[in-house]
Chains A and B, each alone.
Chain A
């Protein structure tokens, strides 16, 4: 007997093969897409054969799925969801990408649910069994999916709250909420015979409180310094130029550069008025830093002195096209206080000309680090 599960996978195999052949004929016979579709067909066939030999891994299928498709199940609303997904995809194509992505998600979700629902509907003449079969097949997808959405919603609302309150209050709120959740969890766990309704009330209250607080926080906006930092646009090119300080909040968005900071090619220090450098992988201090041509490479500047310093990158000179005047080329970090650090990302397209070597210097400190672009 061809079991319902194997039918599904054999169907997938057939469709994939047709799609692969069409793809090869209409698009490109040598393209990876055809390989992927043949792979899908092979996988489907393999799983179909396994499902067939193991009777869908379900010993009850044979006994109870006697009169498949004998009785139609209740009407399904998944085709409507699927259609909604298709509408969103088309709307998204004409408007904004977020709607398109949402449409794809709804389309995939609706399609999977519809397929499983339809498959389960024809599993046997017993509606109860069909519902059981549907639940068993889809639960492995539904529960993690709903959990992911739930976690996303919680993370979104909670992050709005943390962004709205002061920097000092954030960790305290985080600890307090964690403590409350832990306490309620312990209470519920220690009262196994407590009515389920109580747990539901607590959960609903928590969700409403979180959604309310998150919405209120989102409407209130981010805390002052974050808003100010965003307005200053720290990553605008003008803020990286060597000049008067314009930002009071430069490192407040340091979390945005965590990845850069973890992979700098070298760190340049200033200590006791002297400049020195350490490069990743090198055991000794270096006096030369090599940066591949045209490659975005990050360098860290760390000030260990009492007074403020900035790192200057000297990149030779160039003639200004409009005026014909030869000007120095370079860039700087912002002024950095004691034990503070700043990361700079450099992308240098050409090697230095003879007589104008590139270098790192720190005004007010002695020594320089040579910069080589081979």
Chain B
């Protein structure tokens, strides 16, 4: 009797455990703080995909459960317990015909909705704004060609964060400098590969102001997991302010200030790879970065107006400290524009991460930046190396970077 009870109790334990695991899995789907949730569309294009999901996944789910259930039943029923082999037969036309027709019908229905969605997403006839997006190990570059309709009278270049106006049909022209990357802001559209030598198109449109997180979704090397990005949707008025700020001419720090000394450090060290538009050398000639001579993929993020962004290092780290970050990320769609446009002030700066990055970048993010191991890339870095800056230099640089608004 005891042994029977033991078997029953063990069977109950197994059932309870399975039910608990399934419960956790199901509940995980209810998480609200999921910035890369594909089921929370925030724009027309993502909505097209979402509509398709609601058709395809329930059908696939039913089919999957039926097949797996039947499979589990078969394994359980015909488990080898020494029983005789069941009778074997081959071919049953009625069953085969039914099992051919049903999947064909299911696929036809799925195909109709899928192709409709694909054609809708591929339409670029009504584009209102174009942004060039270039992937590189491990960050994204955005350049905005001059577009009078959007108030962009001269090209704008940025990185890490894509800024777009709400309600505008934006077309991204994607490419890559090194390997294949894939651009994905789940709340705004599906994925699109950025392929070297090719231009691939991806539409984005945001319904409301907000910050929408994304991530590179094509394995692209050591720091693929750290290649993040955000799309910042601003109201038309706020976007116009952002454009005006990005087109603002460079302002040199005041003579004698710590920032001015930081500018000198920048000109000695950082300008080898990073461009700041308008920055001039001591002799008054333009300071032109030469990333093609130092970086394997030929470019490094342009740091003009760095402090108008709120992340750095491929959007891996925040430029805002914790409380200021929460203030922006948790802002309502009505207030987020003003908070984002405020940029990074000295009191809000995430100095810990920025200083650590300047002190030893490869320790913060895996990159091919060990000078002893660059033979395969002709002595060029993939990522930012450790520049061996002193703490004083770092103080000066931080002060200088804070002026790049």
Contact = CB atoms under 8 A, between A and B. Distances in A.
A291 to B, nearest CB: 9
Given A281-B201, A374-B143, A296 B196 contact: yes
B292 A374 contact: no
Contacts of A294: 177, 291-292, 297-299
A280 interface: yes
9 nearest A-B pairs in the assembled complex, by CB-CB distance: A294-B298, A349-B292, A263-B198, A374-B157, A292-B134, A374-B143, A290-B145, A374-B155, A294-B292
A123 B290 CA distance: 67
Interface in B152-193: 155-157, 171, 173, 175-177
Interface residues of A, number: 36
Given A283-B125, A372-B145, 20 more contacts: A1-B80, A54-B78, A263-B195, A280-B199, A280-B201, A281-B130, A281-B171, A292-B134, A292-B141, A292-B177, A294-B291, A294-B298, A298-B197, A349-B291, A350-B288, A350-B289, A350-B292, A353-B288, A354-B286, A374-B143
B127 A295 contact: no
B35 to A, nearest CB: 26
B173 A280 contact: yes
A61 to B, nearest CB: 10
Contacts of A265: 173, 175, 199
A282 interface: yes
A292 to B, nearest CB: 4
Contacts of A353: 286, 288
A262 B197 CA distance: 10
Interface in A224-282: 259-260, 262-265, 279-282
A328 interface: no
Interface string A207-229: 00000000000000000000000
Interface residues of B, number: 41
Contacts of B288: 350-351, 353
- A interface, over-half SS: loop
17 contacts: A53-B75, A53-B80, A262-B198, A281-B173, A281-B201, A290-B155, A293-B299, A295-B134, A295-B177, A295-B298, A296-B196, A296-B197, A297-B175, A349-B298, A351-B275, A374-B157, A374-B302
A105 B72 CA distance: 39
B270 interface: no
Nearest to A49: B75
B141 A349 contact: no
Interface in A358-374: 372, 374
Contacts of A59: 85, 88
A55 interface: yes
Contacts of B289: 350
Given A281-B130, A281-B171, A290-B145, A263 B199 contact: yes
Nearest to A294: B298
B34 to A, nearest CB: 25
A125 interface: no
A196 B160 CA distance: 68
Contacts of B290: 349-350
A374 B199 CA distance: 17
Nearest to B157: A374
Contacts of B127: 281-283
A349 B273 CA distance: 11
B345 interface: no
Contacts of A279: 130
A288 interface: yes
A350 B287 CA distance: 11
Given A263-B198, A297-B175, A282 B130 contact: yes
Contacts of A298: 197
A62 interface: yes
Contacts of A292: 132, 134, 141, 143, 175, 177, 299
B79 interface: yes
B17 interface: no
Nearest to B74: A54
Nearest to B75: A53
A279 to B, nearest CB: 8
B377 interface: no
A297 to B, nearest CB: 7
A297 B146 CA distance: 19
Contacts of A374: 143, 155-157, 302
B175 to A, nearest CB: 6
